[in-house]
Chain A
């Protein structure tokens, strides 16, 4: 089991040495990811594998031991992220043939941290991997690109802040529960609730802050938009799909069981205040993420906010504290991993060919890049939650669970966010792939096979999970069963629900859609023949511009797409900006800095300050 961590480490080291040889490095990257996937596959079911490393290091009077364990839920996260990582790795070979920097070694270190996070048995190991992931991703994002510094700095500061808050939480937890093992500490933390409620709440809130920062939940929702816009695109695909789930995993394995087992008074007969706390933050991120996504002009920023909204859905599922909601959330994790990776791969393909990520400067790429277009189309259908692609099932389960718990406000916000998702997804599709093709992209070609094959695989994955959710739900339910949850092992195609007679069979849904497609195809074949007209005819309403004395100009309606809608929400976002709040904290530190430097530049003040220090010191010593 240790080799699964050693392989990425060694790969990172080797690729660091041969960093100049791109072909070799990325090939190594692919091989290593393939091995990890294979190894993870062979670890399935062996839930009692553990590896303990004892050290002499003493903390709180006990010797520290670091451990790894094959935790079922950790395996679930690790396996599906490994699948997607492997696909992205294939994509990266083609993508990086003429890229500037080489992100492979540091990315391999992140994969090492990734596996470490999902396989950590104790909090110290978890924290070590967590922090490793934090600073390595800083370097992966900047990747020697000076323009990326500002966004990456923002991410780094938040990430370190989260790490610090987690460190305090872990140490408090260790001091009060006398153990660092994750599972044991969860049990003891629940007992601690009755003894020391203040400490309990502090620990829980600190943990939640760290996890929320990493998963971009509401008050910390703005780092993805800053980071995704500047990082290397293939790495961003990994980051937006896999890395944003790091906060969700510990939520699922630690926070949800702890909150779920507390005996707290219920509000309105629906849920306790902690449920509502998590739920409302989730709902806020879903709504705010959706609204902000609509108003973006950069496609990577748009999908960054879409990720925020999706993290909100997952949190809403957790907030329901019911098994269906929990399953739905974890199912949505995998769905989001797959669909976000697909979308970002297609965006990376667009950027690879056009070098542009502002949506209003693109357009009409549909015939030039058909496979990319199809992948993107599949991705947004999945993201919108339309069957028969994935993304539907999980959202359906989450909404059901919320309805069952009578959390109506949360349901409304989720429906709002899902509807809003149509708006921004459609907008992206229109702006990038439909409309007029700008002159400068006349010679754009489809991406090479190394990049199109991974996208085709992603399409297949989305369809597979959409029609046969069992490929995800079966391992998930088995994992949950192994953890001691009372779940029914899922079947291949049906999704159970929390209401009676509400179980749906996605196979039938698929047949219905297939029928629809067949009917459409028949109509296409036997109906009137289609006629190809010049593109200008579409918006000149049949008039000939030359007759009017004007030139035919290509026109795309894609800049400030939702202007009226934006004006509606502008007062809100103008007045309240959490982004500005966090930035201003950093700015204030930077303003104080020259003052302090000035203090150390002055000569005369030195002795004065020194002696005042001594005098204060003497006075302080006597008074205190």
Chain B
């Protein structure tokens, strides 16, 4: 399975080619993305998982390696599906810059998920940063430039911390390989581990949109075009979630037990998580710009995810996976709906979208379903996540219980602003005679149906999630030994 490298290489080649191809770019983008998706599916069904590919024949821990395990393939699929779905929303002609950056983003996010080397991971993160910076700035107006520049400054500053952490890892452990670090991490003293972890996490929290590091989010979402919103949400956040799971739970966790036992950093993360949740929900409460509301809400969802993984409990971790899946589908629906409705209404203010739900009920119903899933209402995917996280956090220490209360209060706030938006869609209003092709309604409805199916029939996804948790539980057998078989 050495050909797994193609997932990264082909988009990069396409990125070079896209500079010269002009109008063919759209086609190329589809071909490359669908290749990536179908290749991931082939890998999934080939039955060879887990396996390890040493690049250039340099075995781990000396060379760079790509690892495909259960978690990897799951996130690979999520990212590539997101890429395909986002591409389908692009109707107008885009210039070559857009596609060049898009290919880089595709390569980088795939690479982030595949790589088994921490410096390589850092490189791909940086590439993602560039790509997003470029994509956000694509609109070339005042807002886009400002947002892009701020994002770039913020994430460059963050990534320097990351680089320092990598240096420290190399100094203390003498290796850069994930598996090797994971097997040696127990030799590390606590202070060094804390320092390394803090420095490294701070750059990851930028992509996870956790509080002090998420100032860029709202601006970037507001300034960018709808397709880029979807890239940001579907590809970058998902890759960030993968990074958090891989690095926090599998690499930097002593004796391959969960985060909270390995260092006190879990408490800080819980604290940050619930500050994020409460701040972003309150921020969204009176916001009128629909895209900004969605940006705030996606920060909150990732805050809940971080809360779930920081608890140090496998069932809570399962809940975090449900939250990720629910958020993944729900935000997709909502961004597409927001895009279509704002095109018709001619504004992003949801109060101008009155009555659109009566004319295009499919979209509005899909939006409502997604909103309810994000609120953690029963019969929708988010409920199972909320149930697990809240249930297990209640049995933990005091800080987790405070977190639970804050998360529940913020879900009340979330309910108020989301259902207010839904209500606005369904209320009376004067509708312009803009025609919206019905084909635009199909994708959100399908995705909303997926949310509903997971919500009604959790068995459909429960076992997949347990496979991934199993990999986290048994990191030595399932991950380290795949890469370093001699041990």
Contact = CB atoms under 8 A, between A and B. Distances in A.
Query: Do A and B touch, yes or no (CB under 8 Å, in the complex)?
Result: yes
B390 A56 contact: no
B428 A144 contact: yes
B387 interface: yes
A589 B197 CA distance: 35
B420 A600 contact: no
B246 interface: no
B394 interface: yes
Nearest to A594: B286
Q: Residue among A172, A586, A597 with the most chain B CB within 10 A? A: A597
A541 interface: no
A239 interface: no
Contact of B215 (A167, A168, A174, A610): A610
A131 B378 contact: yes
B321 to A, nearest CB: 12
A593 B195 CA distance: 34
A128 interface: yes
Contacts of B146: 603
A142 B427 contact: yes
Contacts of B161: 614
Interface in B390-430: 390-392, 394-395, 404, 408-409, 411-413, 415-416, 419-420, 422-423, 426-428
Interface stretch (B35-43, B60-68, B92-100, B457-465): B457-465
Q: Residue among B154, B197, B354, B378 with the most chain A CB within 10 A? A: B378
Contacts of A57: 384, 458-459, 462
Nearest to B404: A168
A172 B390 CA distance: 10
Q: Residue among A58, A167, A602 with the most chain B CB within 10 A? A: A167
Interface string A84-109: 00000000000000001000000000
B157 A607 contact: yes
A613 B211 contact: yes
A359 to B, nearest CB: 27
Interface in A569-617: 586, 589-590, 592-594, 596-597, 599-603, 605-607, 609-614, 616-617
A3 to B, nearest CB: 17
Given A605-B215, A624-B264, A142 B423 contact: yes
B212 interface: yes
B404 A613 contact: no
Contacts, number: 189
Interface in A158-201: 160-161, 164, 167-168, 171-172, 174-175
Contacts of B388: 59
Nearest to A622: B194
Nearest to A596: B283
- Majority DSSP secondary structure for residues of A touching B: helix
Contacts of B150: 603, 606-607
B215 A60 contact: no
Contacts of B197: 621
A621 B266 CA distance: 10
Contacts of A242: none
A620 interface: yes
B420 A160 contact: no
Nearest to B269: A617
A622 B462 contact: no
Contact of B198 (A160, A610, A617): A617
B391 A60 contact: yes
A164 B283 contact: no
A613 B213 contact: yes
Given A146-B427, A175-B394, A593-B285, A609 B215 contact: yes
Contacts of B387: 59, 124, 167, 171
A616 B268 CA distance: 10
A533 interface: no
Interface in B140-188: 146, 150, 153-154, 157-158, 161
Interface string A486-508: 00000000000000000000000
Interface string B360-390: 0000000000001001011100011011101
Contact of A175 (B212, B377, B395): B395
Contacts of B377: 131-132, 135
Nearest to A146: B427
Interface stretch (A149-157, A306-314, A348-356, A402-410): A149-157
Chain A, interface size category, equals 35 or more
B287 A167 contact: no
A175 B391 contact: yes
Interface string A123-157: 01001110110010011001011100100110011
B349 interface: no
A618 B195 contact: yes
A59 to B, nearest CB: 6
A100 B395 CA distance: 49
A128 to B, nearest CB: 3
B282 A589 contact: yes
Nearest to A167: B390
B120 interface: no
A2 to B, nearest CB: 14
Given A59-B387, A624-B267, A160 B285 contact: no
Contact of B286 (A100, A590, A602): A590
Given A59-B387, A609-B212, A596 B282 contact: yes
B140 to A, nearest CB: 18
A447 B219 CA distance: 57
B85 interface: no
B315 interface: yes
B283 A160 contact: no
B345 to A, nearest CB: 16
B219 A58 contact: no
A124 B395 CA distance: 18
Contact of B219 (A124, A601, A613): A601
A586 B150 CA distance: 33
Interface string B32-56: 0000000000000000000000000
A416 to B, nearest CB: 35
A596 B387 CA distance: 29
B458 A55 contact: yes
B363 to A, nearest CB: 15
Nearest to B407: A164
B372 A600 contact: no
Interface in B334-365: 354, 358
28 contacts: A56-B459, A58-B315, A59-B315, A60-B315, A128-B378, A135-B375, A135-B419, A138-B423, A144-B423, A144-B427, A146-B354, A156-B415, A156-B416, A160-B415, A164-B409, A164-B412, A174-B391, A175-B394, A592-B282, A593-B283, A597-B292, A605-B215, A606-B215, A610-B157, A616-B212, A617-B201, A621-B268, A622-B194
Interface of A: 55-61, 100, 124, 127-129, 131-132, 135, 138-139, 142, 144-146, 149, 152-153, 156-157, 160-161, 164, 167-168, 171-172, 174-175, 586, 589-590, 592-594, 596-597, 599-603, 605-607, 609-614, 616-618, 620-622, 624
Given A57-B384, A605-B215, 9 more contacts: A59-B315, A139-B419, A139-B426, A157-B412, A171-B394, A593-B285, A600-B218, A610-B215, A613-B211
Closest 8 A/B residue pairs (Cβ):
A613-B212, A128-B378, A606-B215, A164-B408, A596-B283, A171-B391, A593-B286, A600-B218
